[in-house]
Amino acid sequence: MGKSFFLLTVISIALGSCGGQTERRKIYSDTLALAACPLFVADSAMNYIKEQCAFGPRVPGSSASEACGDYIVKQFERFGAVVKEQRVEVTAYDDSKVPARNISASINPESANRILICAHWDSRPWADNDPDPKKHHTPVPAANDGASGVAVMMELCRLIQQQPLNVGVDFVCFDAEDMGTPDWAEDSNSRGNTWCLGSMEWAREARARGYRARYGVLLDMVGGRGSTFSREQVSRQYADPVVELIWRLARQLGYGHYFPMKDGGALIDDHVNVNRVARIPCVDIVPYFEYGPSSFGPTWHTVSDTPENIDPHVLEAVGQTLTQLIYNEVAE
């Protein structure tokens, strides 16, 4: 990976759990009322991660990227979404021109009441944080840092197809997020913003056409073993009411261990462009590790970012919280 307030309507009574059929039970809480919603299937999301990684590293402009992009389009269409693509050319840190492909999948595209869920789907071209310097020029498999967020969105889309909503949901897969200047490049700290190139193009286009969503949620690295998600500071600056809602929902659903009421750092990630350029309040759900070689976890930008290092329980914690968030919405 590299301040407007709006109304969030929380609806009442039941939390649904399902397996085959939807079973509903009432939960009484002194905080938030929980709507009936389907059960997020972590094993399903895990399969989507493996299927993306099977193409190889999805480096922008590569044949693996093109093939995986086609797979992403087909999956969202299979789950009933209306898919559109934005193909652009971005400039990398070394001034080379690279093709990028943003993929948007919309549920209820006619609805003016919309939620944005997003993640990047590209792989970093260089494993420049790998403990073995010989691998620093090797592309990252990107099971967590890319595929996990897309997999959660795919499973959410599948659930919505089975249990429809009356709100609009836009799932956006950003390309070229992870092409930031590698650590081994000369003047790596003086080349300006070379990260999140796909979301910048998406945000500019979204603002130009007047796209609006009530809020957005960015999913970045949401499956790594040992992950917990602190409250990121750019998210709190622009979308603090949504931050509080998500973390409270996670706690009520029994995932408080994964979503501690702690503050993390302020990050350059795709949500910065969504907040500042598209002007949509957007939260970043991103891990924070207090100890280890990186605050993003031991596999960050290494060749070890593989499906074997994904924890389905982490996927479940994020996925079920997002499922509850979406089903708590009521169209106005």
pLDDT of residue 193: 82
Give a yes or no: residue 25 inside a domain.
Answer: no
20: pLDDT strictly greater than 60 = no
- Give the structural domain span for 311: 39-327
Task: Write the pLDDT tens digit of every residue in 84-121.
Answer: 999 999 999 999 999 999 999 999 999 999 999 999 99
pLDDT of residue 15: 29
Give a yes or no: residue 10 inside a domain.
Answer: no
Give a yes or no: residue 218 inside a domain.
Answer: yes
Quote the number of domains for the chain. 1
Give a yes or no: residue 11 inside a domain.
Answer: no
pLDDT of residue 30: 55
Give a yes or no: residue 143 inside a domain.
Answer: yes
Give a yes or no: residue 31 inside a domain.
Answer: no
The predicted model scores a pTM of 0.90
Range from 22-26, 217-221, 271-275, 280-284 carrying the lowest mean pLDDT: 22-26
178: pLDDT strictly greater than 60 = yes
User: Within a 10 A sphere around the Cβ of 271, how many other Cβ atoms?
Assistant: 29
pLDDT of residue 17: 33
Give a yes or no: residue 288 inside a domain.
Answer: yes
- Residue 191 confidence class, pLDDT cut points 50, 70, 90: low
328: pLDDT strictly greater than 50 = yes
- Residue 192 confidence class, pLDDT cut points 50, 70, 90: low
pLDDT of residue 3: 26
pLDDT of residue 188: 55
The CATH number that applies at residue 58 is 3.40.630.10
- Residue 5 confidence class, pLDDT cut points 50, 70, 90: very low
pLDDT of residue 187: 65
Task: Write the pLDDT tens digit of every residue in 264-300.
Answer: 999 999 999 999 999 999 999 999 998 778 899 999 9
182: pLDDT strictly greater than 50 = yes
What average pLDDT does the structure give for the chain? 90
In the chain, the percentage of residues whose pLDDT exceeds 90 is: 84
Task: Write the pLDDT tens digit of every residue in 112-169.
Answer: 999 999 999 999 999 999 999 999 999 999 999 999 999 999 999 999 999 999 999 9
- Residue 176 confidence class, pLDDT cut points 50, 70, 90: very high
* SS3 track for the chain: CCCCCCCCCCCCCEEEEEECEEEEEECCCCCCCCCCCCCCCHHHHHHHHHHHHCCCCCCCCCHHHHHHHHHHHHHHHHCCCEEEEEEEEEECCCCCEEEEEEEEEEECCCCCCEEEEEEECCCCCCCCCCCCHHHCCCCCCCHHHHHHHHHHHHHHHHHHHHCCCCCEEEEEEECCCCCCCCCCCCCCCCCCCCCCHHHHHHHHHHHHCCCCCCEEEEECCCCECCCCCCECHHHHHHHHHHHHHHHHHHHHCCCCCCCCCCECCCCCCHHHHHHHCCCCCEEEECCCCCCCCCCCCCCCCCCCCCHHHECHHHHHHHHHHHHHHHHCCCCC
- Residue 31 confidence class, pLDDT cut points 50, 70, 90: confident
Give a yes or no: residue 3 inside a domain.
Answer: no
